Amino acid sequence: MADVTPTPAADVDAGAAAARAGAPWVAQLGARLLGPIQWVPAAARARVGAGAALAAALLFPAVVRNGGDIDAMANALAFAILALGLNIVVGFAGLLDLGYAAFFAIGAYTYGIVASGQVHPLWSPLWEPLRWLGLVGRFHIAGAPDTVQMHFSFWLMLPGAALVAAFFGILFGAPTLRLKGDYLAIVTLGFGEIVPIVVRNTPTLTNGAMGLNGVISPQIFGYRFGVNALPFYYLGVVMIALLIFISYRLKDSRIGRAWMAIREDEIAAGAMGVNRTRLKLLAFAVGAAFAGATGTYYVAKLQTATPEMFMFPVSVMILVMIVLGGTGNPAGVVVGALILQLLQSWFLQDVTQWTHALGRLVGSPWLQRVELVQSIELIFGIILVVMMLFRREGLIPATRTTAALSLAEQAAQPSRGGIGVTLSGIRKVELPVGTPLLETRGLTKRFGGITAVRDVDLVVQPHTIVGLIGPNGSGKTTFFNLVTGLDVPDGGRVFFMGRDITGRPAHEIVERGIARTFQTLRLFNNMTVLENVLVGMHARTRASAVGAVVRPPSVRAEEAAAREWALEVLRIFGNRLLPRVNHLASSLSYANRRRLEIARAVASRPQLLLLDEPTAGMNPAETMELADQIRSLKEMGLTVLLIEHKLGVVNDISDRVAVLDYGEKIAEGRAEEVQRNDDVIRAYLGRTSAARV
């Protein structure tokens, strides 16, 4: 299943290239203007940029001094936070969520309900601890039983509502995680519709369509924000700064790389050790938490909440903000959000006035009636179409371009004789005598009418190279899929180091020490060479999402060690990959992509390496080079199971060879024995040739 579907990567690449080629003069002008800036190191540039943006944000109210504009800006900041949150779900993890406003609503009503007079249950002593904390009051009217007056603190509910929304993120995420692409989008669309409807139909909690009233505003050191936009503005700036920081920290971490791997190729991510279910839920939860906090902020600012504030167009608007700004780039999506929000609250009104004036001038009644603010969805649509046509990666793209290699760097130094370095992370496995490293018993897989793998028994002893050969369609790749957990066998068992691993999920099998490459390349195309290899390290690293943000010394040390190990692994291939560590995988030559797949697999420190036609598409010199390198890996202690069509390579490096035909193992033994076997000759060359031999 994993290997037969062709990836549409080629079309996407071509499209992106065409998009970039759309306006060459813009690119040239940009390059000329930005040319000198490129000399400043990226980290310093980012720091200066962030400092300048923060300074501008802090000075903005002093410069503008117009209450209305500050208010518009404070609202825009709320949407920028929403864009940051949705960016984690859509931009990082690649999960298309069309109902994101649902989490915004959940956060908003969570705070709204506990900070307004909407619900007032009868007083009972159980409320006493909350009263002691100052979160509720006891309301007394003569002649009636006492009731509870809720006034939960805004500062408590900011993280509190984020947690509640995160909980719902996991709740909504869990049933939808098996879905991909369009299906996920449709289900999330459904959730986005359901939440406002539930809100409208539970008037006791939410006051229904009328909306909550009298939500209390935040108070700090005795100062109550009230309807003054200025403190909200500064609070928004602080929140944005914090959440941008969190976004970048996550992005450039074990967690962020795993998300991006899922976005790029879910199956490959699983096969590299990423627990897809957990990481997708995490993305949903983190994204929802951002929205929950924003809901609290927004409702506290408006002091009301109605279901209309959280309908489908809001979800779409946030999505358009992300596409406009640059999917996957936190700074970009904030810029996109601010542009769209200010477009609505500042410019469209002015442009409408101008259009009316123009209409009066030319005597066109139609122009005098145009209301651009009402056509905002049309404008969003136009923005989307224009972005897709001319700049798909957004105003500020997430992937950076890297400088071209110098000629010396490009010149490969083909080397025979294997790997000149030793890999510190690869150790020989110690197994009890007589235990094979891998053993399959009666392994069987059926796809409808055909039996792709039939009753295959195979034993792989440690520190050997076993060649798996057979005509096309004989079930070799399916056999790999069964061993690595990408397909579940219909019969038989798989044992690794004496333990039964049949039907275990792919990421767990990587943890146990089996790594693989794919016949049809499955690299993470929009990630760099280094990032691809680091994803291979996922199963061997531990950093959690919190660790990734806080970066305690243990996480820093782990990350540094992972990077060092990644470079060590890339060194296997001499100067083929090393000069290209910061290049996107999609920019590599075909042979280099094959090498990168091997490096990514080796990075997971496997005991058993499964290579599916690693030399396909390589020229004879490259093939021999790779054969030597595979032999070196064995000498370092790895065990290799190798699917290969080039029999020269198989003869050269395999200790044993097994032959599959129509899913059945028809021969096994040393290479030269197997090639004399009549069944094998018949399978490869047909019956008449066998008769002649």
The residue ranges that bind Mg ion (CB under 5 A) are: 477, 519
Indicate which single residue of 1, 370, 384, 395 sits in contact with ligand ADP (rule: CB under 6 A): 1
616 contributes a contact to ligand ADP by CB under 6 A: no
474 contributes a contact to ligand ADP by CB under 6 A: yes
Total residues at interface with ligand ADP (CB under 6 A): 14
473 contributes a contact to ligand ADP by CB under 6 A: yes
Segment near ligand ADP (CB under 6 A); pick from 393-401, 472-480, 499-507, 539-547 = 472-480
Q: CA-to-CA distance for 45 and 50, rounded, in angstroms?
A: 8
State the minimum distance, in angstroms, from the CB of residue 1 to ligand ADP: 3
At 60, give phi and psi (nearest 5°): -50, -50
State the minimum distance, in angstroms, from the CB of residue 612 to ligand ADP: 7
Indicate which single residue of 335, 452, 530, 674 sits in contact with ligand ADP (rule: CB under 6 A): 452
Indicate which single residue of 87, 478, 517, 623 sits in contact with ligand ADP (rule: CB under 6 A): 478
State the minimum distance, in angstroms, from the CB of residue 479 to ligand ADP: 7
488 contributes a contact to ligand ADP by CB under 6 A: no
Q: CA-to-CA distance for 231 and 227, rounded, in angstroms?
A: 10
447 contributes a contact to ligand ADP by CB under 6 A: yes
Q: What is the C-alpha radius of gyration for the chain, rounded to an integer number of angstroms?
A: 30
Determine the Cα angle at 244 with ends 253 and 216, to 5°.
130
State the minimum distance, in angstroms, from the CB of residue 470 to ligand ADP: 6
Between 421 and 488, name the residue whose CB sits nearer to ligand ADP. Answer: 488
- 674 and 659 in contact (C-beta within 8 Å)? yes
Nearest one of 410, 416, 487 to 447, comparing CA atoms:
487
Amino acid at 259: W
* Strand extents, DSSP E, 75-200: 136-139, 147-150
Between 398 and 452, name the residue whose CB sits nearer to ligand ADP. Answer: 452
> Which tokens sit at 608?
């058993």
Segment near ligand ADP (CB under 6 A); pick from 244-252, 446-454, 563-571, 671-679 = 446-454
449 contributes a contact to ligand ADP by CB under 6 A: no
User: What contacts 479, CB < 8 A, 6 or more positions away?
Assistant: 440, 443, 453, 456, 458, 468, 660
Segment near ligand ADP (CB under 6 A); pick from 96-104, 317-325, 474-482, 552-560 = 474-482
State the minimum distance, in angstroms, from the CB of residue 476 to Mg ion: 5
Between 390 and 447, name the residue whose CB sits nearer to ligand ADP. Answer: 447
State the minimum distance, in angstroms, from the CB of residue 650 to ligand ADP: 14
475 contributes a contact to ligand ADP by CB under 6 A: yes
Three-state DSSP at 222 gives: coil
Q: CA-to-CA distance for 691 and 339, rounded, in angstroms?
A: 76
Amino acid at 19: A
Residue in this structure with the two tokens 């864009």, named with its chain if needed: 83
* Cβ-count burial 120-144 (b if 16+ within 10 Å, e if not): eeebeeebeeeeeeebbeeeeeeee
At 304, give phi and psi (nearest 5°): -155, 165
Q: CA-to-CA distance for 577 and 409, rounded, in angstroms?
A: 10
4 contributes a contact to ligand ADP by CB under 6 A: yes
Between 473 and 637, name the residue whose CB sits nearer to ligand ADP. Answer: 473
Q: How many CB atoms lie within 10 A of CB 149?
A: 15
Between 247 and 444, name the residue whose CB sits nearer to Mg ion. Answer: 444
State the minimum distance, in angstroms, from the CB of residue 527 to Mg ion: 25
347 contributes a contact to ligand ADP by CB under 6 A: no
Residue 457 per-residue DSSP state: E
Instruction: Give the strand pairing for 639-643 and 608-612.
Output: parallel
450 contributes a contact to ligand ADP by CB under 6 A: yes
Give the footprint of ligand ADP on this chain (CB under 6 A). 1, 3-4, 447, 450, 452, 470, 472-478
